[in-house]
Amino acid sequence: MKPFQTLLALCLTFQVCAQNATAFFPEELVVTANSLNLREGPDANSRKVASLPQGTLLKFLESWNNGQYTQADTTDENSPYGRWLKVSSKGSIGWVFDVYVSGTINLYYENAPQFDMQAPPPLFWYGIYARDSFADELRKVQVRLSEEPHEFFGGAVKFLKTNQNDPSKFLIASHTPLTTGYCGPLGVFDLNQMYFSRSLGPGNQLSIYPGNDMTDTLIKPTYGLAATGCASFENSFVRITDYKLTLLDYGSEPIPTQDLTEWVRTDIPEVNPAVDLLWFGDIDHDNKPDAIIQDCPYEVGCRASLFLSSKAKPGEYLRKACEFYWPGE
């Protein structure tokens, strides 16, 4: 098999396995193509309902065939692979192909392979950087795709690059501008240092908070992330059952909670949960904690998920806004 075919087969296997009953789709999407046809059905030859210009906001309704990856036009072997999404826009309802839309906020890793990105979507791009030893900052950046040889995949692969000399912790693409500057308390601090742990395995409890910049004296809320479950020894392996991830609001009595388990549940019950807190701070600048949580729910991949307080619904503190997948480690 040729290197490119091997790469394509690997990517499709990963995508098809990952996008199933627990597939995540943003609640709000934006058209990134110059113009996009809204179709009556999930087929490139279905009747056109409307023509959507770039920047049109869409409300996600459902995915075709449970998020199954397919070609936009199954009669054309060169047609791109993606997923058909049912959306609504300005009173019209129809189907769009997700290669030509994006979530209104997206999470990426700098220098990560981009298998299905033809070009960076026309959004506002930002990077999270260590400003100093004690704080992170959000910088506006320019991004590009750089095609480079990759020994593992046996051919050239596209990588996401920025115009900054410093390495970023994460990249964020947003439909609306974000406030640059201070965005978190970590800096060069590593959650695995100084008796801390980033693990959210059963029995661990971590705090997240927006932090305060040097001239900021506001008292801001602190939330807790508590992981519970039962570990037993079965057939030479540790087996974790009844895993649960709970958010606690330390600022109220009695302490209110939010169940976050649905966002980190494994796709196969026999797979142990592997959940870690990667980052916390205040990306949306509403003086409430945001967090990036990693989990590996699939046999072939892991994901980093951005949880934003500004996306929370009544009765919630955080809501998942987007996620980034990569072949699992």
The answer on pLDDT for 99 being more than 60 is yes
What is the structure's pLDDT at 148? 83
Question: CA of 64: how far to CAs of 5, 12, 98, 322, in Å?
Answer: 25, 17, 11, 19
Is the preceding peptide bond at 254 cis, omega within 30 degrees of 0? Answer: yes
For residues 200 and 319, state if they share a domain. yes
For residues 169 and 42, state if they share a domain. no
Total domain count for the chain?
Answer: 3
What is the structure's pLDDT at 287? 96
What is the structure's pLDDT at 215? 87
Give per-residue burial for 187-220: e unless 16+ CB within 10 Å, then b: bebebeeeeeebbbbbebebebbbbbbeeeeeee
Question: Comparing C-alpha atoms, which of 100, 115, 116 is closest to residue 51?
Answer: 100
The answer on pLDDT for 18 being more than 70 is no
User: Tokens 């509403």 appear where?
Assistant: 286
| Per-residue pLDDT tens over the stretch 258-316 | 999 999 998 888 889 999 999 999 999 999 999 999 999 877 789 999 999 999 999 99
> What is the band of 194 on the pLDDT scale with cuts at 50, 70, 90?
low
For residues 319 and 213, state if they share a domain. yes
**Last residue of a domain, which of 140, 162, 182?**
182
Q: Which residue has the higher pLDDT, 237 or 155?
A: 237
| Per-residue pLDDT tens over the stretch 122-141 | 999 999 999 999 999 999 99
Q: Mean of the per-residue pLDDT values for the chain? A: 89
CB 155 within 8 A of CB 149: yes
The answer on pLDDT for 5 being more than 50 is no
Name all contacts of 261-269 with Cβ < 8 Å and 24+ positions apart. Answer: 263/293, 263/295, 263/305, 263/307, 263/320, 264/200, 264/293, 264/295, 264/297, 265/22, 265/297, 266/297, 266/298, 267/20, 267/21, 267/22, 267/297, 267/298, 267/299, 268/298, 268/299
For residues 213 and 320, state if they share a domain. yes
**Last residue of a domain, which of 83, 102, 121?**
102
For residues 140 and 77, state if they share a domain. no
CB 38 within 8 A of CB 52: yes
The answer on pLDDT for 16 being more than 50 is no
The answer on pLDDT for 252 being more than 70 is yes
What is the structure's pLDDT at 329? 46
Structure tokens belonging to residue 124: 């506002």
Question: Comparing C-alpha atoms, which of 86, 82, 83 is closest to residue 41?
Answer: 86
The answer on pLDDT for 80 being more than 60 is yes
What is the structure's pLDDT at 269? 81
Structure tokens belonging to residue 298: 């699939």
Q: Which of 193-207, 233-247, 282-296 has the highest mean pLDDT?
A: 282-296
For residues 293 and 166, state if they share a domain. no
What is the structure's pLDDT at 234? 86
What is the structure's pLDDT at 102? 95
Domain membership flag for residue 11: no
| Per-residue pLDDT tens over the stretch 42-75 | 999 999 999 999 999 999 999 998 888 898 888 8
Domain that residue 248 falls in: 192-327
The answer on pLDDT for 323 being more than 90 is yes
Q: What is the CATH number of the domain that holds 54?
A: 2.30.30.40
* Average pLDDT value for residue range 107-114: 91
Helix, strand, coil fractions of the chain, as percent rounded to 5: 10, 45, 45
Q: Report CA torsion sign: 55, 99, 167, 276.
A: positive
Residues 6+ apart with CB under 8 A from 37: 48, 49, 50, 51, 52, 96
CB 90 within 8 A of CB 69: no
Structure tokens belonging to residue 18: 């990952």
* Average pLDDT value for residue range 189-195: 75
The answer on pLDDT for 4 being more than 60 is no
Domain membership flag for residue 150: yes
* Average pLDDT value for residue range 22-46: 92
The answer on pLDDT for 3 being more than 50 is no
